[in-house]
């Protein structure tokens, strides 16, 4: 039992250090030797847990997107209105950038990777899964009458684009929070105005 626990811990140490290396240097700029060095294990130990660099990278893709998906889902699932769900969505961007910075940096690197990479299909599946959360926010907003059906896709594009812009600048250290919050408040005021007109 102790041996299993030690093996699991070693694997997690390797994953943690690989995340840091890939986040800073990208896939091509990171070697298994470097990961082993940062993890303070012999290079064969890395290959014991992972067949190759691609396999290690793919596991990090899965783990990192799972973190993002679960944080986002938990943040919005109990909110009642479209407006509160959007605010919760943006709180997850701040949460990721502040408390899961290396994971967020890695995901941003992954999302910006050339679409011809061998990981493209896996990445797109994860992105589609996360995007469904955002789609669902506005689909329910249409049903509740908070937004118009013909504006559903527009809202999805606006909020998704603003979110990507926001997390990019959070990770870069640039203080765009006030500007993003002003933009977000303006957009949310349009939801209130649309709902008031209907009622």
59-198: CATH topology is Tetracycline Repressor; domain 2 (1.10.357)
Digit-coded pLDDT (tens) for 99-130: 998 999 999 888 877 665 678 888 999 999 99
Output the pTM of the full model.
0.85
pLDDT band at 20 (very low <50, low <70, confident <90, very high): very high
Predicted pLDDT at 1:
42
Mean pLDDT of 151-161: 91
SS3 state of residue 30: coil
Examine the pLDDT at 2 and tell me if it is beyond 50.
Answer: no
Fold entry, domain 1-50 = Arc Repressor Mutant, subunit A (1.10.10)
Instruction: Give 165-171 contacts, CB < 8 A, sequence gap 24+.
Output: 166/90, 166/93, 167/93, 167/96, 167/97, 167/104, 167/108, 168/108, 170/93, 170/94, 170/97, 170/98, 170/104, 171/97, 171/101, 171/104, 171/105, 171/108
Q: State the pLDDT at residue 197.
A: 54
Domain with CATH 1.10.357.10 in the chain: 59-198
**Mean local confidence (pLDDT), 45-74:** 94
Look at residue 23 in the predicted model and tell me its pLDDT: 92
């Amino acid at each position: 039992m102790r041996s299993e626990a030690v093996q699991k811990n070693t694997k997690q140490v390797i994953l943690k250090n690989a995340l840091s290396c890939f986040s800073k240097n990208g896939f091509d700029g990171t070697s298994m030797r470097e990961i082993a060095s940062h993890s303070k294990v012999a290079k064969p130990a890395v290959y014991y847990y992972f067949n190759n660099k691609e396999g290690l990278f793919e596991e990090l893709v899965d783990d990192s997107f799972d973190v993002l998906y679960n944080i986002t889902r938990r943040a919005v699932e109990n909110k009642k209105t479209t407006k509160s769900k959007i605010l919760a969505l943006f709180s997850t961007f701040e949460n990721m950038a502040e408390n899961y910075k290396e994971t967020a940096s890695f995901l941003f690197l992954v999302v910006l990777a050339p679409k011809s990479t061998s990981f493209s299909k896996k990445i797109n599946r994860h992105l589609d899964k996360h995007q469904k959360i955002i789609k669902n926010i506005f689909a329910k907003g249409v049903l509740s009458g908070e937004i118009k059906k013909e504006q559903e896709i527009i809202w999805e594009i606006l909020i998704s684009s603003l979110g990507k812009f926001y997390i990019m600048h959070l990770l870069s250290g640039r203080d765009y929070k006030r500007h993003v919050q002003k933009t977000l408040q303006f957009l949310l005021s349009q939801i209130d105005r649309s709902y008031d007109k209907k009622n």
